[in-house]
Chains A and B, each alone.
Chain A
Amino acid sequence: MSEGSLFLAWRSMLVREILLAMRRKADVLTTLFFFLIVVSLFPLGVGPELETLRLIAPGVIWVAALLAAMLSLGRLFSDDYDDGTLEQILLLPHSLSMMVLSKVFAHWLLSGLPLVLFSPLLGMQLGLDSDAIVLLMITLALGTPALSLIGAVGAGLTLGLRGGGVLVSLLVLPLYIPILIFGAGAVESASSGLGAEAHLSILGAFFIVALVVTPISTAAALRISLD
């Protein structure tokens, strides 16, 4: 169990995840399309006045990102759980936390990163100026990994349960709310002239704490669900 072999296992897990996802592109794309559609609903529902839209834009885009993240969590472990691969992963000689981290990283690359990359489009649609859009991208880049990491704990706890999707959302929502508050709050704070450094620091702190705490928790959750 040398360091080299752990890294190899980590990397091959990552490659496997991405390969599998590429074969079923629909799964990945639906998350992105959901994100785009939800945001597009707001001008239709609230009215096309750009002033109003600009005010609610950070919050709307962040809530849509949250919802898209929650929807995508179902895919994280369920396929491997259904065909027995997950049990095999648990039996690997490598640290389960590291394997989980690899899976979560792949999940973020496929579900979170697209949201970050497409957010400027939505920002423009809702009338944000370029400074706000850049800041929004940064908050999403900091926040979506935390969403994936924390969501993994919820996904691990609810393996194979009925009503899985809604239940996972219910469980992770209390932990997502602070990220939403600071993510959207950063953009609003900057646009009102107060600066977003504090918000960004806290978002960064959430990310680091999630990075340290959640892989172990998710590993524990998987063991609980599979025993």
Chain B
Amino acid sequence: MGFKNSIIWMYFSSPRNFYPIAGKVIPWFAGLAAIFTIIGLYISFFLAPPVLSDQKEYYVIIFIHVAAAWMSMFIYVVMSMYAFIGLVWNIKMSEMMATALAPTGAMFTFVALWTGALWGRPSWGAYWVWDARLTSELILLFLYIGFMSLQSAIDDPRRAARASGLLAIVGVINIPIIYFSVRWWNTLHQGFSVAPNQTTQLVDPSIFWGMITMALACWMYTIAVVLARVRTEILQRERQTAWVQELVGNQK
């Protein structure tokens, strides 16, 4: 059973085999993203209570803000795992996945910071405060930018992927800091909305499901976009091979 699994793994770690499979599943994930988005937005704007006890109507930003923040952290962890695997076991496909994940992760980090600022202004009175969670999320954005800058600064794609992979791994320490910052420090940012081991729900069920649905929407979207991006990366890095040449229309 283990032997069979490793055969499957080795099959998909070849860019040539991964390319068409990725292409086939992208529409499915895009479709799921669209469905979850529609459901999520419906819950956010029509099912969730209009106001909370301590927050006015603007609190609906929570549905996109929390999802984006979760994705920004989750994508970074996944990215550094792919980087680690690519670095240690020298698997090109893994390196390419890490490269493909970075821009989407950076996008969600920016969205989290932006929506957070627009939420902070009406509720705290300030677009930005230098508390632990906001600062560490900003650091996360810098880490993504550093990752992408280092990659683009190195011409040799192998060295570029390995160097930025190492950088990603070193920076992963920031993720638990972001997540636990609201517990470790007195911050202006509110505490866990969905705590790791919470049995009773802290928030209204419709709000909880709204957040979960939007998070799933973001996750499906991420998979679709990252797979699309990695296909372009495969074409670029494997451009000398016969199968890519055939694909772009040049018979040898």
Direct touching of A and B (C-beta under 8 Å): yes
Minimum CB–CB distance for B143 against chain A, Å:
5
Which one of B145, B163, B173 has the greatest number of beta carbons of chain A within 10 Å?
B163
Cα separation A161 to B166 with both chains bound (whole Å)? 16
Q: Which residue of A lies closest to B144 (CB)?
A: A174
Minimum CB–CB distance for A211 against chain B, Å:
14
Total interface residues on B, CB under 8 Å, equals 23
Question: Is chain B's interface secondary structure helix, strand, loop, or mixed overall?
Answer: helix
Cα separation A220 to B169 with both chains bound (whole Å)? 12
Q: Which residue of B lies closest to A172 (CB)?
A: B146
Minimum CB–CB distance for A212 against chain B, Å:
12
Interface residues of B in 136-189 (CB under 8 A from A): 139-140, 142-143, 145-146, 149-150, 153-154, 159, 162-163, 166-167, 169-171, 173-174, 177
Q: Which of B159, B162, B163, B174 contacts A174 (CB 8 A)?
A: B174
Minimum CB–CB distance for A186 against chain B, Å:
15
User: Would you call B135 an interface residue if the criterion is a C-beta within 8 Å of the partner chain's C-beta atoms?
Assistant: yes
Q: Contact: B154 with A161, CB < 8 Å?
A: yes
Q: Which residue of A lies closest to B162 (CB)?
A: A224
Q: Contact: B153 with A161, CB < 8 Å?
A: yes
User: Would you call A55 an interface residue if the criterion is a C-beta within 8 Å of the partner chain's C-beta atoms?
Assistant: no
Contacts of A98 in B (CB 8 A): none
Q: Contact: B171 with A175, CB < 8 Å?
A: yes
Cα separation A153 to B164 with both chains bound (whole Å)? 11
Cα separation A213 to B166 with both chains bound (whole Å)? 12
Minimum CB–CB distance for B47 against chain A, Å:
39
Contacts of B177 in A (CB 8 A): 178
Q: Which of B135, B149, B170, B171 contacts A167 (CB 8 A)?
A: B149
Q: Contact: B142 with A224, CB < 8 Å?
A: no
User: Would you call A26 an interface residue if the criterion is a C-beta within 8 Å of the partner chain's C-beta atoms?
Assistant: no
Contacts of A162 in B (CB 8 A): 153
* Chain B proximity mask over A26-54: 1 for CB below 8 Å, otherwise 0: 00000000000000000000000000000
Minimum CB–CB distance for A134 against chain B, Å:
26
Cα separation A119 to B135 with both chains bound (whole Å)? 27
Q: Contact: A167 with B153, CB < 8 Å?
A: yes
Q: Which of B149, B154, B162 contacts A170 (CB 8 A)?
A: B149
Q: Contact: B135 with A171, CB < 8 Å?
A: no
Which one of A161, A217, A224 has the greatest number of beta carbons of chain B within 10 Å?
A224
Contacts of B139 in A (CB 8 A): 174, 177-178
Total interface residues on A, CB under 8 Å, equals 23
* Chain B proximity mask over A166-186: 1 for CB below 8 Å, otherwise 0: 010011011101100100000
Contacts of A111 in B (CB 8 A): none
Contacts of A153 in B (CB 8 A): 166-167, 170
Contact A174/B171 with A158-B150, A162-B153, A227-B159 known, Cβ cut-off 8 Å: yes
Q: Contact: B135 with A181, CB < 8 Å?
A: yes
Q: Contact: A157 with B149, CB < 8 Å?
A: no
* Chain A proximity mask over B121-140: 1 for CB below 8 Å, otherwise 0: 00000000000000100011
* Chain B proximity mask over A133-165: 1 for CB below 8 Å, otherwise 0: 000000000000000000001000110011100
Contact A170/B145 with A161-B153, A175-B171 known, Cβ cut-off 8 Å: yes
Q: Contact: A173 with B142, CB < 8 Å?
A: yes
User: Would you call A85 an interface residue if the criterion is a C-beta within 8 Å of the partner chain's C-beta atoms?
Assistant: no
Contacts of A171 in B (CB 8 A): 146, 149-150, 167
User: Would you call A221 an interface residue if the criterion is a C-beta within 8 Å of the partner chain's C-beta atoms?
Assistant: yes
User: Would you call A225 an interface residue if the criterion is a C-beta within 8 Å of the partner chain's C-beta atoms?
Assistant: yes
Q: Contact: A163 with B163, CB < 8 Å?
A: no
Cα separation A161 to B16 with both chains bound (whole Å)? 31
Q: Which residue of B lies closest to A157 (CB)?
A: B163
Q: Contact: A224 with B149, CB < 8 Å?
A: no
Of the A-B pairs whose beta carbons lie under 8 Å apart in the complex, a sample of 16, sorted by A's number, is: A158-B150, A161-B154, A162-B153, A170-B142, A170-B149, A171-B167, A174-B143, A174-B174, A175-B170, A175-B171, A178-B177, A217-B166, A221-B166, A224-B159, A224-B162, A224-B163
- Which A residues lie at the B interface, using CB under 8 A? 153, 157-158, 161-163, 167, 170-171, 173-175, 177-178, 181, 209, 213, 217, 220-221, 224-225, 227
What 13 new A-B contacts, CB under 8 Å, besides A161-B153, A173-B142, A209-B173? A153-B166, A157-B163, A157-B166, A158-B163, A170-B145, A170-B146, A174-B146, A177-B142, A181-B135, A217-B169, A217-B170, A224-B159, A224-B163
Closest 4 CB pairs of A and B: A174-B142, A224-B162, A171-B146, A174-B139
